[in-house]
Amino acid sequence: MVLITAIVLHFLTSMGAVVIGRSNVQMHDQPSLDAAVVTSLDKHQQVNLEQSKDGWLKVSTDTLETGWIPSWFVDHPELETEDSLVAVIDKEMAVYTEATNNSEILGHALIGQVLPVINESLGWLEVEFQEKTGYLQTKQQRLANAKDYPSHFDFNHPDVDYDPKLIEEARKKADPIVTVRVGLQALLSAPDRESALVIGPQIGDQFELIDYVYGVDDDERLDYYYVRDQHGNVGYLEAEIASTQADSIGHVTQTSASSIKDAVIMIDAGHGGIDAGAVNEAEGILEKEQTFATAQRLQESLEKAGATVILAREGDTNPSLGERTDISNTQAVDAFLSLHYDNAIDYEEMGGTTTYFFHESDEALATAVNDQMADHEIGNNGTIFGNYYVLRENTRPALLLELGYMSNENDSKYIPSDKYHQEISEAITKGLIVYFDQ
Ligand SMILES: [Zn+2]
């Protein structure tokens, strides 16, 4: 990261002249911080303004030296010289791979994130983003002094334990073992629920993994594990009910937070944007709207308890599942909570809240949160293993909370109400306080 030396201008005089407000202001030969320095301008020196472009001012001196000084400091008298700069994200935005809107999107910077600035050139900030270099438009940013921001939000300091390459290598070397995580299941003779039963495995039974079977309609969705047991029986296990030994490699079993006040909690409002999630047409309820409304209440409740909150989405957008877990992993959050509302059209009697966890080490967190949710009159289905991407690929403690069934008449009365969002958020917060503080 470069130090931003310079600053600069306390005011622009009328029409064409600029008075420099600070000593040693560097004038560059191009509108970029890494361009050559033409000269240093002194405090009170008057220069002529020739052009304004991409957040830079082209100026000339009485001795006819011409160059560029950054105008984006003019509006920010609080910015200090000799200090590293950060971009504070006030609005969710794309981070590009190059300094142009036409380049690929590296990911989305989310509200509350603070990205270290490496350089500024031609109206684009070069920033550190998820351990990579990305670009954001300077004029859309709020610039600040790096020292004013706590390390919680600093992408420059991801959890030392998180190294995706090491994790991937270790997972490749793991024994090919599949464990059944939900009881009363079937080992099937074909990758099809209607196929014949080979045997009925119990919870905890282990199999040798032979192959993965992906769904034809979505190449990211794993549908079945093709496995063999110790007696030589082979068959297909639904991926939904099982985990592999490799899955939990890299997943932390404990974080450093010893109180809710030390904890960073990431709230993932499920779905969003073009993905509405479940829809209850009769009541006009969209899952994406309800998860977002609940996330806002939960954020308030957690912040009131002293936690730091990171949101997966700040509006009606649809970050990919990979983007959601990447934030959790790189920010080393103490708990990740994915909020959803369930749907079971063919089983309208199904109702109540459910807490899903994937990694065995997250079961205590699941129990702590679920115990509090279970007190609510909407009803509760307990803690259940769930093979969901945002849980499985999360290296941080992670839960997926289904907060009621949109297909259930009784639940649908609670789901769209602010009162319910408030009550269930308080229950979740209470569960997290119990988990972190005791
Ligand atoms: Zn959902």
Question: Ligand 1: distance of its center to the CA of 68 in Å?
Answer: 51
CA of 145 to the centre of ligand 1 (A): 39
Radius of gyration from C-alpha coordinates of the chain? 27
Q: Which residues of the chain have pLDDT under 70?
A: 1-15, 21-24, 72-83, 111-112, 149-161, 216-220
Expressed in angstroms and rounded, the spacing between residue 342 Cα and the centre of ligand 1 is 6
Spacing, Cα 277 to ligand 1 middle (Å): 5
Which residues have C-beta under 5 Å from ligand 1, the single-atom ion? 270, 277, 340
Q: How far is the CA of 357 from the centre of ligand 1 (A)?
A: 15
Burial 57-96 (b: 16+ CB within 10 A, else e): bbbebeeeebbbbbbbbbeeeebbbebbbbbbbeebbbbb
The rounded Å distance from CA 338 to ligand 1 centre is 9
pLDDT at 207: 95
CA of 202 to the centre of ligand 1 (A): 28
Q: Ligand 1 centre from 297 Cα, in Å? A: 18
* pTM given for the model: 0.65
Residues 6+ apart with CB under 8 A from 180: 201, 202, 203, 204, 205, 206, 207, 237, 241, 242
- Ordered by where they begin, the domains of the chain are 9-73 (2.30.30.40), 85-153 (2.30.30.40), 175-248 (2.30.30.40), 264-437 (3.40.630.40)
Tell me the pLDDT tens digit for each residue of 18-39.
777 666 678 899 988 888 888 8
User: How far apart are the CA of 371 and the centre of ligand 1, in A?
Assistant: 21
Q: Which DSSP helix (H) or strand (E) runs through 292?
A: helix 287-304
pLDDT computed for residue 147 by the predictor: 72
